[in-house]
Amino acid sequence: MGVTYILSDTHFNGRVYPEPNYTDLIFDNWASIVKEDDIIIHAGDINSGKWNKVAERIKSMPGYKILTRGNHDCTTDEKYLEVFDEVHIHYQKDKVIYSHFPVNPKIYNCDYNIFGHFHRYPINMSDSLVRRYKEFFSFEANFTFCIEEFFFKPVDVNEFIKISYERGKLCI
């Protein structure tokens, strides 16, 4: 396999982001960045519109596709497996646990947790986004992927971890 990429909270065909054509932008970026032998992990909330409208388009995208289900992913696993190669609640690879909501990576014998859901990067431990996870949340181990911050592009997981770890040191 090639490079592992992360995406999350694409909410295809919805009205979640101010960018009016974000669905097309995400698909265009995916097609130009990800190669067929790469892995793309989607950390949930795949779409906000009709599943059939987006399913064929996802299926045509390059890469080995893994979905970790989010709170808006209401289609059956069987339907998702027609498009994705794997579907999980949590997915573990190379000491990273991928999920939609933050989880404690130590429980999974991992160093890091990459997750979606927040749509913005929390500022500190008093931030309302992380208060409910304060028993385990760490800015040096739990990294939220905000698709807008990365210009609606899939991001190399190793680069994402480096960026997030350095930013996390500023939030402690």
* Partners of 143 in beta bridges: 114
State how far the Cα of 9 lies from the Cα of 7, in Å rounded to an integer.
Answer: 7
pLDDT at 120: 85
State which residues of the chain have pLDDT below 70: 172
pLDDT at 151: 94
Within 8 A by CB and 6+ apart from 39, the residues are 1, 2, 3, 4, 5, 63, 64, 66, 93
Domain ranges of the chain: 4-169
Fold of 4-169: Purple Acid Phosphatase; chain A, domain 2 (3.60.21)
DSSP class of residue 33?
H
